Amino acid sequence: MMRLRTLIVLVASVYILWSCLPTNGEVCPSIDIRNNATALALLTNCTVIEGHLKILLMFRTKPEDFRGLSFPKLTMITDYLLLFRVYGLESFSDLFPNLTVIRGNNLFFNYALVVFEMLQLKDLGLHSLMNITRGAVRVEKNPDLCYMATLDWSKVLDSVEDNYIVDNKNARECGDICPGVAKGKTTCQQTTINEHFSERCWNLRHCQRSKYLHLSQLSSSASHLSVSSVFLSLLFSLSLYFCLSL
């Protein structure tokens, strides 16, 4: 069991370091994509967007227009990500599977992530997103959007006070289920928000990951984990901090 845990942590650490180092992709300038889904091809080779990414005003697109579209090379946006009235898009999970950091160097009215009036959006699905360095989150008027109550934004942002998350689908109507819960196993990290202790996830397939390895977790684990286990946890955390410092 210990060998398996060691292997998993080492592989995860190497993956984080690999994903943050330059690859065959490009550093792209700000990109503004609108009107039709074919324009998303501009993102194909982008590893970092040095600026902002806007995807907006696609009124004739349907869910099938986004099937098979994925931009796994994109790991960082230095300014902000904005999505507005893109019809037919149901999740960002496949579009941006490896987007890890939004730096917020320049903001859109103090926001680093804006999701506004996405009428068919069912979940955000940004399952690799672990850090919004500066700025807040605005998620508003997305009538079908669920899995907002299962997100702990304090794991992504240093402060959540300026977040504006309103007029999305009522959490009671969503019936959000995190990975493993349906089978009686909790696989996602649990945290407390507004005195409610629950699993944290982006959707049915993806748990919410954290940029932090909380010292409280380490201290509570130290009593029953070996020194090697704690070292491996620290290695994983340091790898992630290295990624965020690039």
Helix (H/G/I), strand (E/B), else coil: 150: coil
CB 187 within 8 A of CB 179: yes
Range of the domain at 154: 27-173
Identity of the residue numbered 88: G
* 218 belongs to a structural domain: no
pLDDT per residue, tens digit, the chain (246 aa), is 556 555 555 555 555 555 455 456 799 999 999 999 999 999 999 999 999 999 999 999 999 999 999 999 999 999 999 999 999 999 999 999 999 999 999 999 999 999 999 999 999 999 999 999 999 999 999 999 999 999 999 999 999 999 999 999 999 999 899 988 767 777 898 888 877 788 899 999 999 987 654 433 333 333 444 444 445 555 555 555 555 455
Assign 83 to helix, strand or coil.
strand
In a domain, 56, yes or no: yes
> 70 lies in a domain?
yes
CATH code for position 86: 3.80.20.20
Rounded Cα distance, 246 and 167, in Å: 36
In a domain? residue 167: yes
- Region of 46 (left: φ > 0; alpha: ψ -120 to 50; beta: rest) is beta
C-alpha 167/C-alpha 71 separation (Å) is: 29
In a domain, 231, yes or no: no
Whether 44 is in a domain gets the answer yes
| Predicted local confidence at residue 193, as pLDDT | 81
* pLDDT for position 121: 98
Assign 224 to helix, strand or coil.
coil
> Which segments within 74-205 are labelled E, that is strand?
76-77, 81-86, 101-102, 111-116, 131-132, 136-140, 164-166, 190-193, 196-199
Residue 65: predicted pLDDT: 96
Strand partners for 164: 138
Q: How far apart are CA 77 and CA 69, in angstroms?
A: 19
Domain membership of residue 237 (yes or no) is no
pLDDT of residue 18: 52
Confirm whether 158 is domain-assigned.
yes
Query: And the tokens for 47?
Result: 């590893």
In the numeric block, the tokens 């990290």 are attached to 189
Q: How many domains does the chain have?
A: 1
